[in-house]
Amino acid sequence: MRAAPDNSVAGNAAAAFLWACTLDVAVAKPGNVSMDAPGHGMSAGLFLDSAAAAVAPLTDGALRVGERIEQAVAQTQAVARCNTNLGILLLCAPLATAMEAGPPRDARTLGERIEAVLAALTVADTEAAYRAIAHAMPAGLGTAPEQDVATRPTVNLRAAMHLATMRDTVARQYANGYADLFTLGLPVLRRHLAGHGAWHERLHRAVTAVYLAFLARFPDSHIARKHGLPAARRVSNQARLFHGRFEAGQSIDPEEFAQWDRELKAAGVNPGTSADLTVACAMIAGCLDPQLCAMPIDPRQPGIG
């Protein structure tokens, strides 16, 4: 998938989104779909097609955040017929909106803009996002005691997300101004991109490291909804072991990593929220440094560690 060709602010946001979504399936992340490892009844091509369908409404400056989410989900459903990217779109719509103010000077500036976007969300944004969620039909959604997505909302989208922070890490980002992306994910990504070795190896290590960092820190919301919180915590414990070895520079047997991937998929366990956070983190990096989006992405999996 090629990035958007123009150099406008919207074009930069689109390029960053497409770059991040391509990385999502180019890099093997245990439990997730990748070019080398389909799973959960889905292929990498389905995710790439979804990104291509969603990018125009997601970066449409005439639309509010909720409208971007709703229209991007509708376009995704038209090509995928299943939920491939709801969490990604929920995270990336405020980010794309924040980019409308022009190229950010640095991460702090972009964070401040995202905070302003979140602070300006309305009840109309909530209504549109709820329609999008209902259209996407995410697995294991369940019900909520307040502002349930099956009811008509009475609060703005940030307030609605705040009510879900204890059970959903995507919602947590709305509440804390994307703090986890800027303070955990982005530093890990940048550190590994600046490391030693060929670009292809550094890029794969960086994305893998971010995914493991999120999965190790937060019990995955998607797993918790489908399989329960104890199952999500067990997967986080596994991720913590790999993450510790990875960050210590220890080598990891690729077959050991692949076996974990097969075990998760055989059990129907998909750390989808951790992948969504990883995509949003990569999009932030691409927005801050548009040159990244022009760098080649090789789907061949290098050694790990």
Q: Which two tokens stand for residue 37?
A: 């490892």
Q: Which two tokens stand for residue 168?
A: 């959903």
- E strand residue ranges, 69-222: none
Give 200's contacts (C-beta < 8 A, 6+ positions apart): 296, 298, 300, 302
DSSP state of 198: -
132 in Cβ contact with 70 (< 8 Å): yes
pLDDT for the residue 10: 67
pLDDT tens by residue, the chain, 305 residues: 444 445 566 679 999 999 999 999 999 899 999 998 898 989 999 999 999 999 999 999 999 999 999 999 999 999 999 899 999 999 999 999 999 999 999 999 999 999 999 999 999 999 999 999 999 876 544 444 455 566 788 999 999 999 999 999 999 999 999 999 999 999 999 999 998 889 999 999 999 999 999 999 999 999 999 999 999 999 999 999 999 988 887 877 888 889 999 999 999 999 999 999 999 999 999 999 999 999 888 877 776 65
Q: Map tokens 């959960």 to a residue.
A: 40
pLDDT for the residue 301: 74
Q: Which two tokens stand for residue 56?
A: 């125009």
- Distance in angstroms (rounded) separating the CA atoms of residues 49 and 102: 28
CATH topology of domain 9-294: Triphosphoribosyl-dephospho-CoA protein (1.10.4200)
- Distance in angstroms (rounded) separating the CA atoms of residues 53 and 185: 26
DSSP state of 34: -
Beta bridge pairs of residue 252: 304
pTM, rounded to two decimals: 0.93
Please provide the DSSP assignment of 199-227 as one string: HHHHHHHHHHHHHHHHHHHS--HHHHHHH
265 in Cβ contact with 40 (< 8 Å): yes
Q: Map tokens 């915590």 to a residue.
A: 233
Give percent helix, percent strand, percent coil of the chain, each to the nearest 5.
Answer: 65, 0, 35
pLDDT for the residue 149: 66
Return the SS3 of 269.
coil
DSSP state of 65: H
Return the SS3 of 42.
strand
Cα dihedral 228, 179, 286, 157 sign:
positive
Backbone dihedral region of 37: left (phi > 0), alpha (psi from -120 to 50 degrees) or beta?
A: beta
- Distance in angstroms (rounded) separating the CA atoms of residues 263 and 268: 9
Question: Cα–chain-centroid distance for residue 62?
Answer: 23
